[in-house]
A = this chain, B = another copy of it.
Amino acid sequence: MAEHSYQKIVELIRAKIDSGEYRPNDNIPSEKMLCEMTGIGRSTVRKGLSVLVNDGLLYAVQGKGYYVCEPKKGEFLLYFNETSAIETSAESVKVIGVDIISPDAEMTAILDLPPNRQTVLIKRLISDRDTRIAYDCKYIPYSAKSPIIEQELYKSDFPQMFAKEKSLFDIKKKMRITVGELDGQTAKVLRADEHTPAIIIEQFLYDENAQPIGYGITTFLGKYFKLSAICE
């Protein structure tokens, strides 16, 4: 424990937060004070404090000092892609249609498209062995410059489809999880009754300028859906 000087700073402050001596929004001793209290140099004190800032325990305000954060209570890290709800490794992703369509008003709004801009619609079926699990639709603004390459279509992960064009580090995502029942078309594709419970996962992809670059909607048969998230 605390082999290094900067770790001593981390543990010193962390212990006082854990014990409740420092409460959320309290001002903690300044860098200079901590140097004097511990005999540790300023750069090293700063390194320790930066660890606590990165861990979400402290925030710094220039000219004022360091303060204790409010704990983030409901934060979870979720790993999701279209096949992550399937536990066996026998899943398959089958492309069942690629069309160029004229988007309706809703899709035009979602993708922030100019008038008359067409959209690529990719329809895929996700299965686990012979069991049909989910029906997946991706909408991507049509561009003659960057045609969809067939190989990309089988990538189960949505951002992966853009790997040729964009650095994956620059793609921002949003996701919405809702519950519903299968509609007529989806029920047919999944060979299930209409009104069967379903989970609908929508994904919104944006480029580095917050411009929409894709929309995906994946409808899972409820009984095959499972998702985990963690928070450490």
A residues bordering B, Cβ < 8 Å? Answer: 14, 17-20, 43, 54-57, 71, 73-81, 84, 157, 159-160, 167-170, 172-181, 197-199, 220, 222-223, 225-232
Contacts and interface: CB of A to CB of B under 8 A. Distances in A.
Given A75-B78, A84-B74, A174-B230, A222 B157 contact: no
List 4 A-B pairs, minimum CB-CB distance, nearest first.
A179-B222, A197-B197, A71-B168, A74-B81
What is the count of identical protomers in the complex?
2
Given A80-B74, A231-B173, A179 B167 contact: no
Given A178-B226, A225-B178, A76 B18 contact: no
A49 B210 CA distance: 25
A223 B222 CA distance: 13
- With most chain B CB atoms within 10 A of its CB, the pick from A75, A168, A231 is A231
A83 to B, nearest CB: 10
A119 B169 CA distance: 46
Given A43-B43, A76-B77, A179-B220, 12 more contacts: A14-B169, A20-B167, A54-B54, A56-B169, A71-B167, A71-B168, A76-B79, A76-B173, A174-B229, A174-B231, A177-B229, A181-B197
A118 B177 CA distance: 36
A130 to B, nearest CB: 21
Nearest to A84: B74
A218 to B, nearest CB: 12
Given A73-B81, A76-B77, A77-B78, A176 B228 contact: yes
